[in-house]
Chains A and B, each alone.
Chain A
C-alpha cells in the first residue's frame, strides 16, 4: 500500500539551509507535495513536483526527487525564524484520487 515516511524533528541555525527528507512507497505517484503548517493553522501548499521531474526551484525552496530511491527532499535556503513549522510530504498514490501524507517534520530554528 501507499506509505510516506519523514523524520519527526529537525533543528537548524538561523541563516543555514534546512533539508527535510521524505520517502514514499508508491512508484506510480503522479504528484508529490510539500505543505507547511504553522501552530494552530491549516495546511499551506509550499510547492509540488510532477513525477517526471528531478528538481524544482522556487525562490528559497528547492525540491529534489529521486524516483529510483523513492526519495523526496525539500531544501530551504537561508532559514529564518518564520520558517518554524511542521512540514508535510504528500503523494497522490496509484489511483491519483487519494492524497497520502507523511507524519510531518517539525522544523525549529536556533538563533
Chain B
C-alpha cells in the first residue's frame, strides 16, 4: 500500500515554462487536495476534488489548473510558471466517511 505518491519530488523551472505535478492514491479515496506551503504561511489550499470528474477552487487557485479524470489521480498544472509559485506542494487524500487525511511527501518546485 503506497498511500499518496507525488511526482516529481524536485523540479526547477524557468519563468514561463509549464509543468504538471501528479498525485496518485491507492486507497480509493473520494477527496483529494493540493496545498502549497510557504515559510510562515502554513498550508494553503490551491484546489480540491470531491470525486472523479470534479474540481473546486481553494484559497489560492490563481495560476493553477487541476484535473481529476481518474479517481486515483489528481493533477496540478502550472501553465506559465512564475517565481511566486516557488514553493513546496503537498497532495492529500481522504475517504468520504473518513476523518484522516493522508499526505504525500511533497514536491519542491523552484521557478527561476
Seen from chain A, the residues whose Cβ lies within 8 Å of a Cβ on chain B are 4, 6, 8, 30-31, 33, 41-43, 45, 48, 50, 88, 90, 97-104
Contact = CB atoms under 8 A, between A and B. Distances in A.
Q: By CB atoms of chain B within 10 A, which of A8, A33, A100, A102 has the most?
A: A100
Given A97-B48, A99-B45, 11 more contacts: A4-B42, A33-B101, A42-B106, A43-B90, A43-B103, A50-B99, A97-B50, A98-B58, A99-B94, A102-B42, A103-B42
Contacts of B1: none
Interface string B96-112: 00011101111000000
Interface string B64-85: 0000000000000000000000
Contact of B41 (A33, A99, A103): A103
Given A33-B101, A45-B101, A100 B45 contact: yes
> Is the interface on chain B under 10, 10 to 19, 20 to 34, or 35 or more residues?
20 to 34
Contacts of B101: 33, 45, 90, 99
Interface of B: 31, 33, 35, 40-45, 48, 50, 56, 58-59, 90, 92, 94, 99-101, 103-106
Contact of A101 (B31, B43, B48): B43
Nearest to A86: B42
Contacts of B42: 4, 6, 88, 101-104
Contact of B103 (A42, A102, A104): A42
Contacts of B59: 100
Contacts, number: 50
Q: By CB atoms of chain B within 10 A, which of A4, A33, A43, A88 has the most?
A: A43
Nearest to A99: B101
A6 B42 CA distance: 10
A52 B76 CA distance: 35
Contact of A8 (B40, B94, B100): B40
A50 B58 CA distance: 23
21 contacts: A31-B99, A42-B90, A42-B103, A43-B43, A48-B100, A88-B43, A97-B31, A97-B48, A97-B56, A98-B33, A98-B45, A99-B33, A99-B45, A99-B94, A99-B101, A100-B45, A100-B59, A101-B35, A101-B43, A103-B42, A104-B42
